[in-house]
Amino acid sequence: MSDQNTVSLMQEIKELIIEALGLEDISVDDIGDNQT
């Protein structure tokens, strides 16, 4: 696997994590308040 593929994969995973955590919609200060 080339370095370019690795970078692309890491970027894709990073975006999935951001979406899963909802970091696009809330700020860091709000994370604690939204956990139940």
- Give the chain as a 3 state SS string: CCHHHHHHHHHHHHHHHHHHHCCCCCCHHHHHHHCC
Please give the pLDDT value at position 26.
56
Please give the pLDDT value at position 25.
62
Please give the pLDDT value at position 28.
57
Structural contact between residues 15 and 7, judged by C-beta atoms closer than 8 angstroms: no
Please give the pLDDT value at position 18.
84
Instruction: Kindly report, residue by residue over 1-36, the tens digit of the pLDDT.
Output: 578 899 999 999 999 988 888 766 655 565 566 555
Please give the pLDDT value at position 13.
94
